[in-house]
Amino acid sequence: MKKGLMITCKDATQLVVKKNHEVLNMWDRMRLLMHLSMCRFCSLFEKQNKIIDEHTAKLDEISPAHMTRDSKEKILHELEK
C-alpha cells in the first residue's frame, strides 16, 4: 500500500474489507475517509459490501435452499433400514 495520504481504489477496498474485521489505525481511517469522499465507486463498494455482510449473517435463518423430495425420500429410506 502506498505511504501517502492518497490511496488507490485497490487499497481503499482492501481497507473497507479490513474495517469489517478490526478497528483501523488513525492513519488508515483518515486515508480511507479521504478516498471515499472522492470516489463514488469505492463508496458504492463500501455500502454494498455492508449489505452483503448483513444478509450473509442471516442466511442460515432464512434458509432459501431446499433439498429435493427424491433426495429426502432416499435418505429417509436409509435411516429407516
Partner 1 sequence: MPDKQSQTNQKIAQLFKDYADYLYNFAISRVSDTHVAEDMVQETFISALKSYDSFEAKSKESTWLTAILKNKIIDHYRKKVKQYLHDSIDRLSASDDFFDDKGSWYKDQRPSKWDFDTDKSIEQQEFYQILQECLTRLNEIHRIAFVMKHMDDVNTDEICKELNVTASNYWVIMHRAKLQLRKCMETNWTKI
Name the DSSP letter for residue 53: H
Nearest CA-CA partner of 34 in 43, 21, 24, 44? 43
Contact residue for partner 1 among 3, 10, 25, 26 (CB under 8 A):
10
Cβ at position 62, least distance to partner 1 in Å:
5
Distance CA 52, CA 61 (A): 15
Q: Is 33 in the site for partner 1 (CB under 8 A)?
A: no
- The set of cell numbers assigned to 61 is 435463518
Interacting residues toward partner 1 by CB under 8 A: 7-11, 13-14, 16-18, 21-22, 41, 44-45, 48-49, 51-53, 55-60, 62-67, 71-72, 75-76, 78-80
